[in-house]
Each structure stands twice: as C-alpha cells, then as structure tokens.
Amino acid sequence: MEFRNLHDTSEFRDIFEGAGFDYIPYLNFLLRTEDKTEVSRLMSRSRKRQIKSSLAAGAEIAEAGSEEEVMAFYQLLRQLYAEKVKKPLAGPDLFLRFWRLAAGKFFIVKYQGEVVGGNVCPVFGNRTVYEWYRCGRDQLRKGLHPSVLATWAPIEFAAGNGYRHFDFMGAGRPDEAYGVREFKARFGGEEVCYGRYSLVLDKALYSIGKLGIKIYQMTR
C-alpha cells in the first residue's frame, strides 16, 4: 500500500509511521502558472530554443481528436515502456476511456500529419494540471523535440487558462540518478520533496512481485 503525496503532509508523518508506514523521500517539480511572463522567465534558454525550433520545423500541438490519434499516441508510449522504462504499461482502454470521458486534457504533438508525441494530463478544478503519461519521438530530425513540446503543451494551457500549478508528477528519489529529473528541471519548476508513505502488507508476496518485475525488465 502506498500514498504518493501531492502536497506537503509532514504534519501527518508521525501518524503514518505510527500505523506502520515507512516514509520514502521522493522528489517532484511544481511550476506556478498564474503568470505567463514568470513561466517564461523560469524556463531555461535551451528549452525555449527547443520549443521555438520545433514549431519552426512544422510541429503542431493539438488535443487528440479521434480514437485513432489516441491509439497512435499509445503505440509510441508502449514502445517507450518496452525499450526504456521496462515496466508494465496499462492497456489502451485506460487511455481511450480517459479521452472519451474528457477526464482531463489529452495533448498530442503532430509532425507532417503524424502523431509523434503527446501528454495525458488529468486536471483538478481550475487549480492544477498534472503530467501523467508523456512521450515523444525525439530522433526524427534535427531541431525537432516532440517530448519537449509534449510537456510544454499542458504548461501553456495551464498558463493561458487560469490554472495555478503544473505538476510534473515525480522526479525520482533524491539519492538515485534519474535522467528524467534533469529534463523536467529545465522547465523551471520548484523542486519539492513531499515523499511517499509505503506499507508492505504481505512481505513474501511483495518480494515475489519485485522479482517478477526484475525478470520482466531482463527479458525486454
């Protein structure tokens, strides 16, 4: 059982630990999006250049308009999970239902009519946009950065529609190298460590599950 904190819960830490939970430090980035000028100021110059060059190359940001576009995004995401993430990925029905129910924003990046990236983003009221699943084909041509546009799309949306924050939804453990952390950091968000609370109910079953994941990763 695990609670992944979206805000500071340090005042409840003693309660969780008293109930048997372990606190696990875990980083995240939060970007304030109430001021467009401030969003631009905080972003690194390299990110701004990548956004500009990608749009100049002909890339487009849009919202998924059909099941075919959702599935095109899913195929890219599945390839990313198979080749790099090496962890099980939810089936396509999750993404199709998210899109059909309009449970948030489903951004896609297109280049020459083809889906080359995207970002699935739940939203909370008019307060926060969350980055849930993101991917992009970044080796298509020089100057084209679909993954950067995929993250920029919800940031731009949040800044233009009165949302307070964009939540990057995780940046790894502070004591472990995590390449995605550097990618996210360049968008200018504030690094926070709200952590997680974890409780193993069945240690034997948990160990078997961890072994299963290792075998899964080794065979991919």
149 Cβ partners below 8 Å, 6+ apart? 51, 54, 55, 59, 61, 109, 117, 136
> What is the Cα–Cα distance from 28 to 24, expressed in whole angstroms?
13
Please check the confidence at residue 81 and state whether its pLDDT lies above 70. yes
Please check the confidence at residue 40 and state whether its pLDDT lies above 70. yes
Residue 131 inside a domain? The answer is yes
Residue 16 inside a domain? The answer is no
Specify the pLDDT at position 3.
97
End-to-end CA distance of the chain: 27
Specify the pLDDT at position 76.
98
Residue 161 inside a domain? The answer is yes
Specify the pLDDT at position 169.
97
> What is the Cα–Cα distance from 153 to 118, expressed in whole angstroms?
9
Listed range (102-116, 125-139, 177-191, 195-209) with the worst mean pLDDT? 195-209
Residue 220 inside a domain? The answer is no
Specify the pLDDT at position 99.
98
Residue 153 inside a domain? The answer is yes
Give the domain extent around 32: 2-7+27-200
What would the pLDDT profile of 153-210 be if each residue is shown by its tens digit? 999 999 999 999 999 999 999 999 999 999 999 999 999 999 999 999 988 887 887 7
User: For all residues of the chain together, what is the average pLDDT?
Assistant: 95
Please count the structural domains in the chain.
Answer: 1
Please check the confidence at residue 220 and state whether its pLDDT lies above 70. no
Q: Where are the beta strands (DSSP E) in 25-158?
A: 28-32, 60-63, 104-111, 114-124, 128-130, 133-136
- What CATH number has the domain bearing residue 45? 3.40.630.30
Residue 192 inside a domain? The answer is yes
**Could you tell me the two tokens for 16?**
């969780």
Is residue 76 a contact partner of residue 95, using CB atoms and an 8 Å limit?
A: no
60: left (phi over 0), alpha (psi -120 to 50) or beta: beta
Residue 49 inside a domain? The answer is yes
Q: Distance from CA of residue 205 to its chain's centroid?
A: 29
Residue 216 inside a domain? The answer is no
What would the pLDDT profile of 41-68 be if each residue is shown by its tens digit? 999 999 999 999 999 999 999 999 999 9
> What is the Cα–Cα distance from 54 to 59, expressed in whole angstroms?
6
